Amino acid sequence: MDMGPVYEANPEWSEGLAKGAMDYYKVPGYEGYYGVPMESGLIGVFYNEKVLNDAGIDKFPETWTELKEAIVTLNEADIVPIALGQSQHICRTLHNQIFYKWLGIDAAKALGTREKKWTDPDVVERLLMLKSYMIWMHSQKEQQELAMILQ
């Protein structure tokens, strides 16, 4: 059901919805909105500047290469570089951020419509990238254990 008429009839409610959240409920090939956003979230990074400085890192990394170098430096200093929590949800969130960043929203939509497969080379490359990130975010001992689990 197209929710557009409901949005139009209730502007005091619908004008408070973020356009980006609403756009998620558009269906390719159809006009209108086919859902109502119920929640929204931001992805952020919290870091301890003193811990970075004490490890010899002068500023927060701005690129993936700098981030990887910082993680190696922190691991060498026996400092946990990134804490993601114990939830699988966190790993999925990391995957989604990597996926959208490098493959884009059109690729994500194509996966949803089955036009793109999880076995397509570009998707596999991103999954392998996630696997490598999951490994290098851990200490040497954890890397070996995680590598065995992810085989």
pLDDT of the chain, 151 residues: tens digit per residue:
888 899 899 999 888 888 778 887 888 888 888 888 876 666 667 889 999 999 999 999 988 789 889 988 998 898 888 776 655 556 666 667 777 777 887 888 888 888 999 899 998 888 887 777 666 665 555 555 555 555 5
Q: Both 65 and 9 in a single domain? A: no
Kindly compute the dihedral angle of the four CA atoms of residues 35, 36, 37, 38, in this order, to the nearest 10 degrees. Answer: -120
Q: Both 56 and 104 in a single domain? A: yes
Report the alpha-carbon distance of residue 144 to residue 76 in Å, rounded: 15
**In the block, which residue shows the tokens 């419509």?**
113
Report the alpha-carbon distance of residue 52 to residue 74 in Å, rounded: 8
Q: Measured over all CA atoms, what is the biggest interatomic distance in the chain, rounded to whole angstroms? A: 59
- What is the extent of the structural domain holding 5? 1-41
Looking at the structure of the chain, the number of domains it has is 2
Phi, psi (rounded to 5 degrees) for 13: -95, -50
